[in-house]
């Protein structure tokens, strides 16, 4: 059966070049990077630090600001928990659109450590109200505050107006954490120009291996962070444990390859998205695109989210899968829920929600026009 994989926001296929790097590292790098007394350990250490340098170079950061983790969820947890425990954060500002690894961790911290939490108002397109954000910051100016907002939403693709957030954080002396998991490796990012205090990344979102990611922590903050995992003192003393050398090497190679080809990849993604929008409009009268996903200048090129009129409820995705089309209703971490918390946050019309199902299409560099054609044909069959 011909298949179309259109769930790249959940996980991307791994590149052949990355597989080669991982395989070579697994086969020939047998040393522990902390065992620098012999050549095997020093070789592993060299791979680790060269990878760190490569990653830092591609996001315009210092190598010492890169701390490796098991992925995006751990990276977000590290930032949020360390901010409360080590930086003395007593107030967190976020939105209802964040990833579960952010929202659930914030809820836990608010209960466990009596941290006050405010959610920025959003409209039906998922646009944040920055006047409301400033009101919240002003009201809590005497509390140590962390603002946690994702750069590109993983369900509706909205791009955050980061310059506005950075301006307000600086004005009110708040720390800024951005979940950049859909951004790093997919669009250019420059930490020299963006005044983020923390940012997070996961390799399997940009054609690298699963189970490896990193957190960016600004150097002036890094020295204040105590061990998140204790033991051997690896990763600047923050995350103990023998580093995943083959995963790190694969992450580094995946990021390097993406950064070398951003212009062509973004152009391709924009074409696929534009074509998909026009084809969907032909078969679905008055189609509703969620958030700003259909606005090319205000959303990430790889994500398109819309409401599909159907009575098949959650079986819609299985019907599409049987026809060879892989899509999702939103974040894979929310797959057990009937409705995405993001969609429920921006669509207040319950009647509309009951008559439709959200479909998230997320494009990747290996997708072609024929994948969209297969999706459209499958939707037409389901609609009959």
Helix axes 72-86, 100-112, angle to 10 degrees: 30
If DSSP codes are grouped into helix, strand and coil, which group holds residue 251? helix
Q: Please say if 333 is a catalytic residue.
A: yes
Q: Are 281 and 57 in contact (CB under 8 A)?
A: no
Alpha-carbon distance values, 147 to 79, 93, 333 (Å): 11, 5, 22
Phi, psi of 24 (to 5 degrees): -65, -40
Residue whose token pair is 């929600």:
353
Count of CB atoms situated within 10 Å of the CB of 319? 15
Residue whose token pair is 């993406």:
258
Rounded to the nearest angstrom, the gap between the alpha carbon of residue 382 and the centroid of all alpha carbons in its chain is: 31
Q: Are 279 and 372 in contact (CB under 8 A)?
A: yes
Helical ranges in the chain per DSSP H: 16-28, 39-58, 72-86, 100-112, 130-139, 162-171, 219-222, 245-260, 262-283, 315-322, 341-346, 350-355, 369-383
End-to-end CA distance of the chain: 22
How is residue 198 written in tokens? 């923390």
Q: Measure the CA–CA gap between 368 and 134, rounded to whole angstroms.
A: 43
CA gyration radius, the chain: 21
Q: Measure the CA–CA gap between 197 and 214, rounded to whole angstroms.
A: 14
Residues in the chain: 384
Rounded to the nearest angstrom, the gap between the alpha carbon of residue 246 and the centroid of all alpha carbons in its chain is: 22
Q: Are 238 and 78 in contact (CB under 8 A)?
A: yes
Alpha-carbon distance values, 87 to 67, 222, 237, 335 (Å): 17, 10, 16, 34
Give me the active site residues, please: 333
């Amino acid at each position: 059966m011909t298949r179309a994989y259109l769930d790249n926001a959940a996980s991307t296929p791994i590149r052949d070049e990355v597989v080669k790097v991982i395989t070579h590292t697994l086969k020939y790098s047998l040393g522990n990077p902390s065992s620098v007394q012999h050549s095997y350990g020093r070789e592993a250490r060299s791979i680790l630090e060269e990878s760190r340098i490569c990653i830092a170079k591609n996001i315009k950061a210092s190598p010492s600001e890169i701390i490796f983790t098991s992925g995006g969820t751990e990276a977000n947890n590290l930032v949020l928990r360390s901010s409360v425990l080590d930086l003395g954060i007593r107030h967190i500002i976020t939105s209802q659109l964040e990833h579960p690894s952010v929202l659930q961790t914030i809820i836990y911290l608010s209960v466990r450590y009596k941290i006050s939490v405010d959610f920025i108002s959003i409209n039906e397109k998922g646009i944040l109200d920055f006047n409301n954000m400033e009101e919240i910051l002003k009201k809590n100016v005497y509390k140590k505050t962390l603002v946690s907002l994702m750069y590109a939403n993983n369900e509706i693709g909205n791009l955050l107006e980061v310059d506005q957030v950075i301006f307000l954080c600086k004005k009110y002396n708040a720390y800024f954490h951005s979940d950049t998991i859909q951004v790093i490796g997919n669009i250019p990012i420059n930490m020299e120009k963006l005044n983020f205090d923390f940012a997070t990344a996961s390799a399997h979102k940009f054609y690298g291996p699963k189970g490896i990611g990193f957190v960016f922590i600004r150097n002036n903050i890094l020295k204040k962070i105590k061990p998140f995992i204790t033991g051997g003192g690896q990763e600047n003393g923050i995350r103990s444990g023998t580093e995943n050398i083959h995963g790190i090497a694969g992450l580094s190679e995946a990021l390097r390859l993406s950064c070398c080809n951003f212009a062509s990849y973004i152009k391709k993604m924009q074409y696929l998205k534009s074509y998909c929008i026009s084809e969907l409009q032909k078969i679905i009268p008055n189609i509703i695109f969620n958030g700003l996903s259909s606005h090319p200048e205000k959303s990430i090129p790889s994500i398109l989210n819309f409401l599909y009129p159907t009575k098949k409820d959650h079986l819609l995705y299985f019907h599409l899968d049987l026809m060879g089309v892989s899509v999702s209703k939103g974040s894979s971490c929310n797959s057990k829920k009937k409705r995405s918390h993001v969609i429920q946050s921006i669509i207040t019309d319950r009647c509309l929600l009951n008559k439709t199902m959200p479909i998230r299409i997320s494009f990747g560099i290996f997708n072609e026009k024929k994948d969209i054609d297969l999706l459209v044909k499958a939707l037409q069959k389901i609609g009959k």
